[in-house]
Amino acid sequence: MKTFLVFLAVSVVSILVAIILPLKAEQNVITAISTMVSWLITIVTVWILAYQVLREKSLDFYLFTQRMKLRLFSNNSASWSFSAKFECDDDLSAMRNIEQKMLEQYEGNIRIVKAASHKVIYAIERQFNVEIETDATDSDLREIDVDGAQKAIFIHVQNLRVGYKEGSRIIEKELLPLANLIEMVIQPKRKNYSLSILFDKVENPYFGLYVEWMRPEAIKRFEVVAVIENYSEKATIRVWEEGISLSVNSATTFQTLSKNFLELSPDLKKTLQLTR
């Protein structure tokens, strides 16, 4: 932010000088206008070059310009897939308790689309469909990190269309309250939250955190898998050409990390341990 303010201040001062000095000089109007235009062309050229250099060399400046670009000019939505895993002792009993709590919590705005002993799909009006099951459908979520078999409940909200400007609200007001509701019913021994975002029509705005200086068409395949340990637990971040995903074991860390990424927060510099 400081870099941007200095850059903006220098730009404004330069433009004012380019306008004021020719007007004050003792010369005719045509000469003054010609001098002014020459100054402005030079300043704009230098401004463009400085802008490109700062985006490549200053991560703070890059994040700031990306945030402004997305906030002001991006009306595109991305495809979200949210999943949560809660390990428990009795999954079938938990399914019955979850159904009762879901119908109470979303009374009047929820209906059951499909029901079976191991899977129930709910449609929550004006929000999304949520699938709750006792069997994982995602290979990553199917992995168990502890010895011995452990029963678990899985939540899936898939193909949710979300725009950049509403991302944080969807996390804080819809997805996490749903997960917290189910967590309170189950009282899980272990838990995990995952979010994947696919950008199908626009360039991945987070991809440039790593390869901004390279032309996208020159990259055949690029993927970053980072294990973040800045928090009390580990978090896994994946970034590739078309999307981004994160996986953590607590709702608090999930909320913090997702907000940092979705809003391209300055805290990303510390979170990702980047030095640029």
pLDDT, residue 195, reads: 93
User: For the chain (length 276 residues), average pLDDT per consecutive 10?
Assistant: 55 59 58 70 74 71 76 74 88 84 90 87 88 64 46 90 85 92 89 88 65 58 73 77 86 86 76 56
**Cβ atoms 133, 84 nearer than 8 A:** no
* Res 164: pLDDT: 77
| pLDDT number for residue 258 | 87
Q: What pairs with residue 126 in β-bridges?
A: none
Q: How far apart are CA 239 and CA 225, in angstroms?
A: 7
Q: Is residue 73 within a helix (H) or strand (E), and if so which, with residue range?
A: helix 59-73
Report pLDDT for 131.
Answer: 92
Q: Are 89 and 73 in contact (CB under 8 A)?
A: no
Burial of 53 per CB tally in 10 Å (0-12, 13-18, 19+): exposed
Q: Give the tokens for residue 49.
A: 């070059």
Residue indicated by tokens 């640029």: 276
**Residue 163 has what pLDDT?**
82
Give 135's contacts (C-beta < 8 A, 6+ positions apart).
118, 119, 154
pLDDT recorded at residue 253 = 86
Of 166, 208, 242, 167, nearest to 65 by C-alpha is 208
Phi and psi torsions of 33, nearest 5°: -65, -40
Give 3-state DSSP helix, strand, coil % of the chain, rounded to 5. 50, 25, 25
